[in-house]
């Protein structure tokens, strides 16, 4: 296990636009959350659209669906990072989304994008959000792990040719994939026979 406290995750986040913090929550807690969401994953229909996918399921309101979701939202290190990243532009931070996502076999790669584009304000002056993806299953290069384009938070990207190569956010339950709202990213394709599940906070 990495020594979480010995690494300056804020520095990595600001330098690269992302960081992957290992073993931040017990795998047992993540497994309990996944079990609580099993029925919702089964009953939720597939998405419909090029951006949200045709082989991907999404649903929100996780705090009402499982008591274990609170552990993800209120994890102390994540909260401290969020306050550092967002606090210069606001008096207090706000939970924007708590969503479960299941990428099923056959899903194609998601279009690379920045989540801060949801807001109409001027970009580059401050960050609008800090995203945290918590894997419920292993994430790897074959099953749809998120692809992140390091450094894109520091420069405008006007075409896909400017992106360079992404990193694959390979990770496991208990890890936390953190990235800025200004960092270009997108889900990868799932070419396996397994479902890739995760939670976005």
Extract the tokens encoding 80.
């401290």
- Structural domain boundaries enclosing 118: 9-200
Q: Domain for residue 3, yes or no?
A: no
With respect to residue 120, please indicate whether it lies within any of the assigned structural domains.
yes
**Strand order of the sheet with strand 185-187?**
167-168, 146-148, 185-187
Give the pLDDT of residue 120: 86
Q: What percent of the chain clears pLDDT 70, i.e. is strictly above it?
A: 97
The answer to whether position 71 is within a domain reads yes
Condensed to tens digits (0 to 9), the pLDDT of residues 2-18 reads: 455 657 999 999 999 99
pLDDT at 4: 58
Count of Cβ atoms closer than 10 Å to residue 92 Cβ = 7
Residues 64 and 70: their CA atoms lie apart, in Å, by 10
Q: Indicate the DSSP class of residue 73.
A: H
What letters, b where the CB count within 10 A reaches 16 and e where it falls short, cover 123-148?
A: eeeebbbbbbbbbbbebbeebbbbbb
Mean pLDDT of all residues in 130-152: 97
Given a contact cutoff of 8 angstroms between Cβ atoms, the answer to whether 77 and 9 are in contact is yes
Asked if the structure places residue 4 within a domain, the reply is no
| Whether the Cβ atoms of residue 142 and residue 191 lie closer than 8 Å to each other | yes
Write down the pTM of the prediction. 0.94
Q: What is the mean pLDDT of residues 56-77?
A: 98
CB neighbours of residue 54 within 10 Å: 13
- Strand-pairing partners, residue 198, are 101, 135
The reply to whether 104 falls in a domain is: yes
Helix (H, G, I), strand (E, B) or coil at 150: coil
Averaged pLDDT of the chain: 94
Please provide residue 107's backbone torsions phi and psi, each rounded to the nearest 5 degrees: -70, 145
Domain for residue 25, yes or no? yes
Check which CATH number belongs to the domain holding 107 and give it: 2.60.120.620
Q: How many domains does the chain have?
A: 1
Residue 18 lies in a domain: yes
Q: Give the model's pLDDT for residue 5.
A: 60
Residue 148 lies in a domain: yes
């Amino acid at each position: 296990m990495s020594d979480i406290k010995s690494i300056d995750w804020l520095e990595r986040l600001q330098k690269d636009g992302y960081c992957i913090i290992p073993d931040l929550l017990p795998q047992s807690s993540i497994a309990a959350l996944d079990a609580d969401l099993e029925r919702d994953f089964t009953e939720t229909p597939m998405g419909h659209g090029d951006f949200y996918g045709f082989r991907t399921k999404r649903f929100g309101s996780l705090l009402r669906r499982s008591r274990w979701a609170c552990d993800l939202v209120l994890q102390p290190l994540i909260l401290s990072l969020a306050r550092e990243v967002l606090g210069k532009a606001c008096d207090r931070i706000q939970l924007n989304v708590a969503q479960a996502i299941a990428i099923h076999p056959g899903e194609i790669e998601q279009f690379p994008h920045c989540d801060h584009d949801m807001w109409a304000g001027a970009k580059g002056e401050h960050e609008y959000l800090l995203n945290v993806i918590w894997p419920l299953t292993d994430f790897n290069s074959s099953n749809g792990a998120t692809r992140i384009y390091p450094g894109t938070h520091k420069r405008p990207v006007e075409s896909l040719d400017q992106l360079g190569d992404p990193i694959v956010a390979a990770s496991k339950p208990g890890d936390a994939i953190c990235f800025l709202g200004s960092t270009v990213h997108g889900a990868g394709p799932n070419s396996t026979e397994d479902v890739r599940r995760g939670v976005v906070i």
